[in-house]
Amino acid sequence: MAEIILNGQSVKTEAADMKDLKRQTYASEGLSEDIQRHCVWIVEGFQTDENLSLKDGMTINWIQKGKMPDREEMESMLCARHTPHVYEKAKKARAAIAGLGGLGSNIAIMLARTGIGHLHLIDFDIVEPSNLNRQQYMVEHLGMYKTEALKDELQRMNPYIEVQIDTVRITEENCRDLFKDDDIICEAFDKPDQKAMLVRELLTQCPETTVVSGNGMAGYGDTNEIRTQQMMRRLYVCGDQSTDVGNGIGLVAPRVAACAAHEANKVLQLIMQTES
């Protein structure tokens, strides 16, 4: 008899292998052969059709295609996929994203897929057609506030993430109140003067925060030039720190997404470095 974790529950089973486990599960659930054909089995975070032998402590999940798992099932799958140590820290963590354009919307998607438990999204703008070349919005989002559209997208991916939104322009006056509960903040503005203002105010007004900023990602240049550098004790800057919009150089999806990935990865690194 093996003791396994099945869809988030500790289960003792007499099944010797995956074939036996599937047969027992389908029988106990009363699933028709048609539904069985649309079931996906995930062992230790990876989908497989192999008839693996069951061992104590194995994490196994099964889902029906097209059907949303409940919270416990979803978290069990993510935990196995990311490994327990990583996922448990990520689930407890929170991060803020200031600006939900090409950088911010991509950062939010990546952090949500990583399992960050609480995301704080701040922007005042609406989705317009020119955003669709690099930002994580769809045609049906046109005219919506970016905060509401992105929250909708994130909860379609994982409805169990807590998403807090503030549809407001960030200023020197409201900076402290907006970010008072956030330990890690991604700066994702477009305009240099606004970037400088936010970083300055966060570092001076919010002494417990760490800022991850983006600078230099325009055009079609080599993505290997985009890097992450620690500029101050509480400030990291991602990008090539030189390429700017202008003179026929615009913002396009690949390089913007590469810079966003650097920011999201630094957030995850910072979370993993915190004490449990």
Question: Where residue 276 falls among pLDDT bands split at 50, 70, 90?
Answer: low
pLDDT digits (tens, 9 = 90+) for 184-195: 999 999 889 999
Query: Taking a C-beta distance cutoff of 8 angstroms, is the pair 136, 149 a contact?
Result: no
- Give the Cα separation of 202 and 205 in Å (integer): 5
Question: Where residue 251 falls among pLDDT bands split at 50, 70, 90?
Answer: confident
Question: Where residue 82 falls among pLDDT bands split at 50, 70, 90?
Answer: confident
This model's pTM is above 0.75: yes
Mean pLDDT of 148-170: 95
pLDDT digits (tens, 9 = 90+) for 90-121: 999 999 999 999 999 999 999 999 989 999 99
pLDDT digits (tens, 9 = 90+) for 24-49: 999 999 999 999 999 999 998 889 99
